[in-house]
Amino acid sequence: MLRRWCVGAALLLRTNRMEASPCERLADLKLERVTIVASGVVPAGELKLPVPVRSASPELFDDFKRLAAFCRVQTIARPTAGSEIAIETWLPLTDWNGRYLGVGNGGYAGSVNYHRLGESLLAGYAVSSTDTGHRGGARDATWAAGDSVKQIDFDYRAVHEAAVVSKALIRAFYGRSERASYFSSCSNGGRQGLMEAERYPGDYDGIFAGAPALNLGFTARVSGNFDAFAQRGGKIIVYHGMNDAPAGSIALYEKLLRDMGEERVRDFFQLYLIPGMGHCGSGTEPNDIGQWVRPNADRQHSLLKALESWVEAGRRPRGVIATRFVIDGDATSGEARTRVLCPYSSVCAAKGCVRPVVKPYGRDATSISRRADGVGGAALHYQLSPPLRPRAPMASKCAGRSRGSRVPFRNLTISAFLRILR
């Protein structure tokens, strides 16, 4: 009798497992030093979060009712004694774009970034976020006192674990690997992306890092050693608001030029300085460049999509159209103004963004002296050869569309050209 009961129970268990969805079956996946806490399908518009997630900033996604059904997997990674790294991986059930996107954290982290998870899922990505190994507020660093394990988890290990775990879940769920992997975030998240490129060059194919907090870290800081990442074909785009003390990002770029040479740097790294932008976004000038992930974005208006094109098709970005919405950060409010932005060390000309010829400072009318806030008095001097003579239609492309204004470009001096760009 007991034997019959055991056989029946085993058959019932097997039947239930066979009826389980592919998402639920992820709970049986064996990953080294990883516990799968929960795995299940979230019906469309029915996501339940541990705490309400609302934002007063319109650019931050919080309309979770818009999300289609997806597979939500919650895991805990314990790569070493004392580690307890919470990770969430969200997998689209339909319309997956084939890409994996890792998203980062602001401040000292301490929680999963649901804003970034939501916007990325809505745009079709398989996406992950981690609390970086501790629980707490973004301004709270008391957890780090005397705990070297949690310090290392925060500095770089947690984001790496999130990538490893999420890629394994993607393979198990879809039966294939992602076609390309990206990391996108700002501030501490920008630092996280650059640390990934340095320490784990195989985790991501492209890094989109905003206003990286280069000196934030307990045991390790960004050094700029991207040789292995560049060698395997990885690409990095860094952006920084000019109203957000961009000296560190400029110094990093200049260091790369010294260490690797201009041609090699151009093959994998771009820096964009955004006039009038504050920390990660906002400002009175056009500042939306794709740092907020939206469905149907294109590479002309989104540096994240331009990064994808660079990685997957070999098209190096030549600039981006920045947008200022009527309500700053709210794409539904309508477009107020646009401006073309060029990669750092390029300038906007009749044929788009061009590379200037570096020369010592001179009195020539075609010399450019550009001073970035907080650079400590250093200035960059360029000469354009031949002198710029853009055609009138380029006024809207290079100066930014300022409705109702027209600026003649015939015999345009460099100083006048720079005034238009401000």
Per-residue pLDDT of the chain (422 residues; tens, 9 = 90+): 445 444 444 444 443 444 679 999 999 999 999 999 999 999 999 998 877 666 668 888 999 999 999 999 999 999 999 999 999 999 999 999 999 999 999 999 999 999 999 999 999 999 999 999 999 999 999 999 999 999 999 999 999 999 999 999 999 999 999 999 999 999 999 999 999 999 999 999 999 999 999 999 999 999 999 999 999 999 999 999 999 999 999 999 999 999 999 999 999 999 999 999 999 999 989 999 999 999 999 999 999 999 999 999 999 999 999 999 999 888 999 999 999 999 998 766 666 677 764 443 333 323 222 333 333 223 332 222 232 222 232 223 343 333 323 332 233 333 433 343 34
CA dihedral 407, 411, 416, 422 (to 10 degrees): 50
* CB hemisphere CA count around 129 (13 angstroms): 24
Task: Tell me which DSSP letter residue 401 carries.
Answer: B
Do the Cβ atoms of 224 and 259 come closer than 8 Å?
A: yes
Buried b or exposed e, range 309-323, using 16+ CB within 10 angstroms: bbbeeeeebbbbbbb
Task: For residue 100, give the nearest of 23, 162, 158 by alpha carbon.
Answer: 162
**Structure-token pair, residue 107:** 């401040």
Structure tokens at 360: 């010592």
Task: Give the model's pLDDT for residue 346.
Answer: 78
Q: Determine the Cα–Cα distance for residues 60 and 114; give it in Å rounded to an integer.
A: 10
Phi, psi of 200 (to 5 degrees): -135, 70
177-209 core/surface letters (b: 16 or more CB in 10 A; e: else): ebebbbbbbbbbbbbbbbbbbbbbbebbbbbbb
Contact at 8 Å (CB) between 213 and 242? Answer: no
Q: Quick one: which of 385, 380, 395, 390 has its CA closest to 411?
A: 390
- pLDDT given for residue 401 in this prediction: 35
- Residue 373, pLDDT score: 31
**Closest listed residue to residue 165, CA positions, set 74, 99, 244, 227:** 74
Tokens of 201: 């060059």
Amino acid of residue 329? G
Can you give the pTM of this predicted structure? 0.82
Residue in the structure block whose two tokens are 């310090």: 151
C-alpha 366/C-alpha 107 separation (Å) is 43
Cis peptide before 317 (omega within 30 of 0): no
The confidence score (pLDDT) of residue 56 equals: 64
Burial level of 112, CB count in 10 A (0-12/13-18/19+)? buried
What pLDDT was estimated at residue 372? Answer: 32
Nearest to 132 by CA among 178, 202, 200, 189: 189
253 within 8 A of 266, measured Cβ to Cβ: no
For residue 107, the surrounding DSSP H or E stretch is: none
